[in-house]
Amino acid sequence: MFPLLTALVEHRRELDALEAAWHDELAEYHRSDEWRAENYASSAAALASAGRMDSGVAHAHVKVALKLEKIPLVADAWRCGEISGRHATVIANAFTPARAAELSGIENRLVVVARMETPKVLGGVVGRFTDAIDGDGGASSEEARYQRRRYHGSRGLDDMYNVNALYDPESADIHEKAIKAELERDQRANDPRTMPQRRADAVTNLFRQSLNSGLVGTSRGAVPHVTYIVHLDGQTTEEAALINLLRTERQHHGRLSASTLERIQCDCDVTRIIMTGVSEILDVGRATRTVSAAQWKALVARDRHCQGKGCTQPPERCEAHHLWHWTDGGLTNIQNMKLYCWHCHREEHKHDVQPRAA
């Protein structure tokens, strides 16, 4: 190896050895019961508080520290810097009372693998051994991974949202596929965003769409509905003429059949939108800061899609934008609003705060 790489690897070994020594000290602290005298519920709680770390991380450190006593060969290899903390954790997590005898018999073999391979490869080897020991085709290991799932979210001092999550393989596959699909859909020409930013936006888009579509939450306060659009110009009062103008909010996907319309009208809200010509909304409700369900339906009926330049994103990916900002005295009425997709809406507001030439 080149000198710089050799030095980096050697320093990494020294850090691994120091980390192992730190876990030895942590185990000693746990046995000392000093944390009880300091009125902590557990040694992990004391570590989390004094060490300014997440509770889950502190508990994981204590768990590994205590298991090192039961896997001495692994502990010695870690103390020498021959394996990393992640290698030791992989083996420690697999070491349960039910597997203790069998794993102790192959501990030396696991250390050899740990010295030669990455923690991920080691995890595969350990998994095959534990599956054989459990004798259930891997069901116990799978359930153990599933029970380790977690999601922690917290607001920082700057109101940014920090997420720490762990998902079982099946859930992880769903996350990866959903994010990948949204990344492809949300790809834009000359996109200035970094990939981490695009992934963050993709997750937000998926959550926003679930809320707006009514899959979770209240979907702008609206239940599934049918919208009757009545054009005043040239219309008679015959009921048949009104039925022929029946549309749904998702009109961009095509008209619904008569039988489908009859079915969904059995359990839905019906909203009246009065229009003159093809675009002027006459009456959908009073002015408020938040767009009402009726106003949203009217906006969709008029705009059909995002009104950003060259953008045709459908309504479920859009928001109502105040042309004259509400904070500046603008009203929440149809004439003062347009549909903008999430991206165009953000860009429009960014444009509005740009300094103007004198």
pTM: 0.52
137 and 238 assigned to the same domain: no
Domain boundary among 84, 114, 147: 147
Is 254 inside a domain boundary? Answer: yes
For 141-156, the pLDDT digits (tens) are: 788 888 888 998 988 8
Q: Name the domain boundary from 100, 126, 147.
A: 147
Q: Give the domain-ending residue among 112, 147, 182.
A: 147
Radius of gyration, alpha carbons of the chain: 30
Using CA atoms in the order 222, 225, 227, 228, what is the torsion angle rounded to 10 degrees? -130
In this structure, the answer to whether residues 143 and 260 fall within a common structural domain is no
Asked if residue 214 is part of any domain, the answer here is no
Tell me the β-bridge partners of 322.
Answer: 337
Per the domain annotation, does 293 fall within a domain?
yes
User: Mean of the pLDDT values across residues 20-30?
Assistant: 97
Q: Report, as an integer, the average pLDDT of 62-85.
A: 96
Q: Does residue 161 fall inside a structural domain?
A: no
- Asked whether residue 233 falls in the same domain as residue 108, the answer is no
Same domain, 233 and 129: no
Q: How far is CA 186 from the centre of its chain?
A: 16
pLDDT band at 334 (very low <50, low <70, confident <90, very high): confident
Pairing of β 269-276 and β 225-231: parallel
Whether 142 and 242 map to the same domain: the answer is: no
What pLDDT sits at residue 233?
52
Highest mean pLDDT out of 16-30, 44-58, 302-316, 340-354: 16-30
**Cα 278 to Cα 110: distance, rounded to the nearest angstrom:** 73
At residue 287 the predicted structure's pLDDT band, cuts being 50, 70 and 90, is very low
What is the number of other CB atoms lying within 10 angstroms of the CB of residue 280? 14
Higher-pLDDT residue of 148, 275: 148
| Within-domain flag for 250 | yes
Percent of the chain with pLDDT over 70: 76
Q: Count of domains in the chain? A: 2
Say which range, 35-44, 154-163, 166-175, 344-353, has the weakest mean pLDDT. Answer: 344-353
